[in-house]
Amino acid sequence: MTLSGLENSDLKLIIFGGKGGVGKTSCAVATALALSESFKTLLISTDPAHSVSDCLGQQIGYHVVKVDGTTSLSAIEIIAEEALSAFKVAHQSELEKLLATSTNLDNADINELLSLSIPGIDEIMSFKAIIDFIEEGQYEKYVVDTAPTGHALRLISSPRMLDAWIKVAAKMRWKYRYLITSFAGSYKQDEVDTFLLSLKKTVKRIENLLQDKAKCNFIPVCIPEAMAISETTRLLADLEDFNIKARQIIINHVMVSEDCSFCMRRKAGQAKYLQQINEIFSELNTVEIPEFAEEIQGLESLKELKYFLFENQLNLE
Ligand SMILES: Nc1ncnc2c1ncn2[C@@H]1O[C@H](COP(=O)(O)OP(=O)(O)OP(=O)(O)O)[C@@H](O)[C@H]1O
Ligand SMILES: [Mg+2]
């Protein structure tokens, strides 16, 4: 099979995830290239290793740039720490006031607390950057490359983590509100309440988008090996826990050549895993990608990958 449904006009966000080294970046970049032939597309990397630059052979950075050799593809590598420090700078006063009005901490304690990260906040800031792009609406498709499994899951679970943090903060605020109301008779919503409310809205926006099957697709990438299959099984279960359902899966590095005894042995070794994949992931459309003789780097080899992702059905007997 080939990847399908990505051209649906409702579908905005396509996220690639999976075990380390299975080909997420290569597939994300090739997909973005393919989509950019018909749609204005933004390729977003949330991987701190920033391998999108290496894959494209072009330096991409923290600002959107046009991808050389394409007409409608742009790319950006989101740096979570940058996004987080921008958030802290922008909301320093609200964060300080939240702590100062809600606890008995002194200034030194407050500064220490502020320097600690709120759980999931760097991932949420990466996601907020993605959702801001989508809401700005300058592009028709947004393709996201993630770091290995744990990171994709942290990214996906970040709204839940932040939500838990907001609940604690809101509870502290309630106590403060109660105190003020008891002394002054009334309470006027301040900038901290507005800030918490806007964080809450961000969480909701992200959750709504992730769980909207028409708008968002998660595409796991796997290889025909035992560990990758187990990790993908866990990833899919975790995704379901977040109400996110994958429809198709890419199986990369499939041996087709029988030119030498090494190739034949590898191909034979993969057979049982391909069988397992068909059984375990029977609900998903599988898209098989052959093992290439060379690494996938630069537009020419990406075109070959794109061909297998979108045009040619690999014929496995
Ligand atoms: N089908 C293939 N045939 C040959 N080489 C491949 C194939 N797919 C990917 N590669 C190569 O394998 C290496 C890893 O691929 P890639 O960077 O896409 O994986 P990844 O899952 O993004 O890795 P990471 O988990 O480190 O982010 C790269 O050098 C890439 O060129
Ligand atoms: Mg990668």
pLDDT bracket for residue 36 (50, 70, 90): very high
Per-residue confidence (pLDDT) for residue 15, from 0 to 100: 95
- Residue in this structure with the two tokens 């990847």, named with its chain if needed: 3
The ligand with the least distance to the CA atom of 151 is: 1
pLDDT over threshold 70, residue 292: yes
Tokens matching residue 301: 């080899």
The distance from CA 5 to its chain's CA centroid, rounded to whole angstroms, is 19
Per-residue confidence (pLDDT) for residue 65, from 0 to 100: 97
Per-residue confidence (pLDDT) for residue 1, from 0 to 100: 87
For residues 24-50, average pLDDT: 93
How many whole angstroms separate alpha carbon 60 and alpha carbon 66? 9
The atom number, within ligand 1, closest to the CA of 148 reads 25
What residues contact 84, with CB distance under 8 A and at least 6 apart?
A: 117, 121, 122, 125
Per-residue confidence (pLDDT) for residue 5, from 0 to 100: 93
The atom number, within ligand 1, closest to the CA of 292 reads 3
pLDDT bracket for residue 206 (50, 70, 90): confident
Per-residue confidence (pLDDT) for residue 212, from 0 to 100: 94
Q: Which of 47, 109, 190, 259 is catalytic?
A: 47
Per-residue confidence (pLDDT) for residue 192, from 0 to 100: 86
How many whole angstroms separate alpha carbon 192 and alpha carbon 12? 33
Q: Which protein residue has the closest C-alpha to ligand 1 atom 6?
A: 295
Per-residue confidence (pLDDT) for residue 111, from 0 to 100: 58
For residues 60-86, average pLDDT: 90
pLDDT over threshold 70, residue 94: yes
pLDDT over threshold 70, residue 315: no
Angle at 287 between CA 281 and CA 290, to 5 degrees: 120
For residues 173-187, average pLDDT: 81
Q: Which protein residue has the closest C-alpha to ligand 1 atom 26?
A: 21
Alpha helices, H only, 73-120: 80-102, 107-115
Per-residue confidence (pLDDT) for residue 274, from 0 to 100: 97
CA distances from residue 102 to 115, 147, 198 in whole angstroms, order as listed: 17, 37, 19
What residues contact 13, with CB distance under 8 A and at least 6 apart?
A: 130, 134, 142, 144, 209, 215, 216, 217
**Residue 66 host element (H or E):** strand 65-66
For residues 293-304, average pLDDT: 94
pLDDT over threshold 60, residue 314: no
223 CA distance to ligand 1 middle (Å): 11
pLDDT over threshold 80, residue 300: yes
Pocket of ligand 1 (CB under 6 A): 20-26, 47, 51, 147-148, 252-253, 289, 291-292, 295-297
pLDDT over threshold 80, residue 20: yes
Mark whether 163 is an active-site residue.
no
28 CA distance to ligand 1 middle (Å): 11
Q: Which amino acid is at 231?
A: E
For residues 132-155, average pLDDT: 87
For residues 210-237, average pLDDT: 95
For residues 26-42, average pLDDT: 97
97 CA distance to ligand 2 middle (Å): 40
The ligand with the least distance to the CA atom of 297 is: 1
CATH superfamily, domain at 13-79+126-156+215-310: P-loop containing nucleotide triphosphate hydrolases (3.40.50.300)
Mean residue pLDDT across the chain: 87
Q: Which residue has the higher pLDDT, 210 or 30?
A: 30
Tokens matching residue 136: 């700005």
Among 32-41, 129-138, 282-291, whose mean pLDDT is lowest? 129-138
Per-residue confidence (pLDDT) for residue 317, from 0 to 100: 46
- 216-222 and 248-254 beta bridge pairing: parallel
Torsion from C-alpha of 278, 283, 287, 291, nearest 10 degrees: -30
- 73-77 and 65-66 beta bridge pairing: antiparallel
For residues 170-177, average pLDDT: 79
Percent of the chain with pLDDT over 70: 92
- Say if CB 316 and CB 274 are below 8 A apart: yes
pTM of the entire structure? 0.88
